[in-house]
Amino acid sequence: MVKVYSTPTCPWCSKAKSYLKSKNIDFEDLNVQEDLNAREEMLNLSKQSGVPVINIDGNIIVGFDKPAIDNLLFNK
Protein backbone atom coordinates (compact mmCIF):
# COMPACT_ATOMS: atom_id res chain seq x y z
CA MET A 1 0.00 0.00 0.00
CA VAL A 2 1.20 3.51 -0.87
CA LYS A 3 0.24 6.65 1.03
CA VAL A 4 1.30 10.17 0.09
CA TYR A 5 1.13 12.77 2.85
CA SER A 6 0.88 16.13 1.12
CA THR A 7 -0.55 19.64 1.03
CA PRO A 8 -2.45 21.23 -1.87
CA THR A 9 0.16 23.97 -2.41
CA CYS A 10 3.30 21.81 -2.32
CA PRO A 11 4.92 21.56 -5.79
CA TRP A 12 7.02 18.50 -4.85
CA CYS A 13 3.86 16.76 -3.62
CA SER A 14 2.28 17.33 -7.03
CA LYS A 15 5.38 15.96 -8.76
CA ALA A 16 5.40 12.86 -6.54
CA LYS A 17 1.70 12.15 -7.14
CA SER A 18 2.05 12.75 -10.90
CA TYR A 19 5.01 10.36 -10.99
CA LEU A 20 3.09 7.62 -9.17
CA LYS A 21 0.13 8.11 -11.53
CA SER A 22 2.46 7.88 -14.55
CA LYS A 23 3.63 4.48 -13.26
CA ASN A 24 0.03 3.32 -12.66
CA ILE A 25 0.60 3.04 -8.92
CA ASP A 26 -2.54 3.31 -6.79
CA PHE A 27 -2.02 5.49 -3.74
CA GLU A 28 -3.94 7.20 -0.98
CA ASP A 29 -3.48 10.97 -0.96
CA LEU A 30 -3.65 12.39 2.56
CA ASN A 31 -3.95 16.17 2.88
CA VAL A 32 -2.09 16.94 6.11
CA GLN A 33 -3.10 20.58 5.93
CA GLU A 34 -6.75 19.65 6.61
CA ASP A 35 -6.60 16.13 8.07
CA LEU A 36 -5.20 16.35 11.61
CA ASN A 37 -5.13 12.55 12.04
CA ALA A 38 -3.10 12.17 8.83
CA ARG A 39 -0.74 14.94 9.99
CA GLU A 40 -0.21 13.17 13.33
CA GLU A 41 0.39 9.86 11.54
CA MET A 42 2.93 11.51 9.21
CA LEU A 43 4.78 13.13 12.12
CA ASN A 44 4.95 9.82 13.99
CA LEU A 45 6.30 7.99 10.92
CA SER A 46 8.77 10.57 9.61
CA LYS A 47 9.65 12.56 12.75
CA GLN A 48 9.40 15.79 10.74
CA SER A 49 6.76 18.06 9.21
CA GLY A 50 8.02 18.58 5.65
CA VAL A 51 6.01 17.20 2.74
CA PRO A 52 5.75 15.08 0.76
CA VAL A 53 6.18 12.02 2.91
CA ILE A 54 5.60 8.77 1.05
CA ASN A 55 4.83 5.53 2.86
CA ILE A 56 5.39 2.44 0.70
CA ASP A 57 4.50 -0.70 2.65
CA GLY A 58 5.89 0.82 5.86
CA ASN A 59 9.02 2.26 4.24
CA ILE A 60 9.15 6.05 4.64
CA ILE A 61 10.52 8.39 1.99
CA VAL A 62 10.79 12.08 2.82
CA GLY A 63 10.57 14.31 -0.24
CA PHE A 64 10.26 13.33 -3.88
CA ASP A 65 13.09 10.81 -4.19
CA LYS A 66 12.44 9.03 -7.49
CA PRO A 67 15.26 6.43 -7.12
CA ALA A 68 14.04 5.47 -3.64
CA ILE A 69 10.44 5.23 -4.87
CA ASP A 70 11.48 3.06 -7.83
CA ASN A 71 13.61 0.85 -5.60
CA LEU A 72 10.74 0.13 -3.23
CA LEU A 73 8.09 -0.32 -5.93
CA PHE A 74 9.93 -2.14 -8.71
CA ASN A 75 12.93 -3.95 -7.16
CA LYS A 76 11.10 -6.46 -4.98
**Mean of pLDDT over the chain:** 96
Q: Is the pTM of this model over 0.85?
A: yes
Q: What is the CATH number of the domain that holds 21?
A: 3.40.30.10
How sure is the predictor about 76, in pLDDT bands with cuts at 50, 70 and 90?
Answer: low
- CA 17, 56, 44 angle in degrees (round to 5)? 100
Angle between helices 66-74 and 11-22 (to 10 degrees): 30
- Give me the phi and psi of 70, to 5 degrees please: -60, -40
Mean pLDDT of 32-51: 96
Mean pLDDT of 32-56: 97
Number of structural domains, the chain? 1
Residue 35 is part of which domain span? 2-74
Mean pLDDT of 33-40: 97
Residues in CB range of 53: below 8 A, 6 or more apart? 4, 5, 42, 45, 46, 60, 61, 62
Per-residue pLDDT at 64 exceeds 70: yes
